[in-house]
Amino acid sequence: CKGYLDAKKIVEVAKECGADAIHPGYGFLSENFDFAREVEDAGIIFIGPKPDVIRKMGNKNIARYLMRKNGIPIVPGTEKLNHESMDTIKKYAREIGYPVILKASGGGGGRGIREVWEEKDMQSAYDSCTREAKTFFNNDEIFMEKLVVKPRHIEFQIIGDNYGNIIHLCERDCSIQRRHQKIIEIAPCPSISEHLRKTMGTTAVAAAKAVNYTNVGTVEFLLDDYNNFYFMEMNTRVQVEHPVTEFVSGVDIVKEQIRIAAGQPLSVKQEDIVLRGHAIECRINAENPAFNFAPSPGKITNLHLPSGGVGLRVDSAVYPGYTIPPYYDSMIAKIIVHGENRFDALMKMQRALYELEIEGVQTNADFQLDLISDRNVIAGDYDTSFLMETFLPKYQEKE
């Protein structure tokens, strides 16, 4: 079940079949600089950024240092804490001001994160954060940041070629999330002005230029109520939610990745990027929302995916009779819609979720339908706390 993470085996198979290049997708190996280097050392093209860039930006502590050095706004925080005493760590927290957040330097996917609202909880939060970081990333290095309360999570898609050309494809709003895991992604963000979009986009490009970035990546920001934004991290890969950006920008991001890896320049310039309509992506997971979103592996006995109509895309590999194993991430499909405006996109997503049928395992499809139909979501009135603090309590009462 772990063959997809066996870097050496993947390189061996690629050499045996005469592959010219390897696309790492958006799984764990896509941000593994050792794998990227191993691919290049084997004389195979790695379709992604250079290994050294992956290493630097994959370590959140190093990334913060590089951003601060290059004038990119970052959340107030510390260097790594692992060799500090607990008294010193608590002193840092008091200086920054509670609440704070502990983060794994090598983390991602919502893992290795602990919010600390009071000093009495620091020791247990530190211990659990380092344990989880070691378990999931084989690196227990953690650092501390000021917790930006109830921000928007805004990310900018960037693309850079091997000739110094770097552009952005505007933003995605990923604020609807559960335990730091994205649930719904929307492009463009319904609450930012054109001026703020331009400012954040220019900053995202500057962040990429600071590390001589090539290929595709995402610069993620936290945006507060006063339109202050802070660099959070950079994902050195194509994102799960890249289709929403493809819909609104008209750029085939994966095709562009391959072109860049083949040594070709960008096929578009910044002035070519004009947003067209709105796009939404819902992640369909094999999980049971009624039981704290417990994974629901098993055999799919009946499947009907939404189909037909302009502006609908379904990315999935499951089929009737497919057995969902317990070893991997619970996501089994992505539904992406595109509309002329935000309301049109919301209506298309509602119709698509109504049409979706998956039997044999529990999924979050009905949960997603209720979420996309919520008046706050329709109005664009939400932040990263919305799902856990506002929507989920209402949903659980109804259940």
Say how far apart CA 141 and CA 129 lie, in whole Å: 9
Judge contact between 184 and 331, C-beta under 8 A: no
Say how far apart CA 174 and CA 380 lie, in whole Å: 12
Dihedral sign for Cα atoms in the order 83, 67, 279, 304: negative
Q: Going by C-beta distance under 8 Å and a sequence separation of 6 or more, which residues neighbour residue 255?
A: none
Say how far apart CA 115 and CA 119 lie, in whole Å: 11
Token output for 118: 């009071």
Q: What count of residues does the chain have? A: 399
Q: Is 237 designated active site?
A: yes
Q: Which of 306, 311, 254 minimizes the C-alpha distance to 279?
A: 311
Q: Which of 177, 225, 203 minimizes the C-alpha distance to 377?
A: 177
CA terminus-to-terminus distance, the chain: 35
Say how far apart CA 95 and CA 98 lie, in whole Å: 9
Burial class from Cβ neighbours inside 10 Å (0-12, 13-18, 19+) for residue 328 reads middle
Dihedral sign for Cα atoms in the order 234, 239, 245, 251: positive
> In what helix (H) or strand (E) does residue 354 lie, and over which residues does it extend?
helix 342-355
The catalytic residue among 55, 197, 237, 342 is 237
> Does residue 265 have a cis peptide bond before it, meaning omega lies within 30 degrees of 0?
no
**CA torsion 146→147→153→158, rounded to 10°?**
20
Strands (E), the chain: 21-22, 45-46, 100-104, 113-116, 142-146, 152-160, 166-178, 181-187, 215-223, 229-235, 278-285, 287-288, 294-295, 298-299, 302-304, 312-316, 323-324, 331-339, 357-359
Active-site residues: which are they? Answer: 237
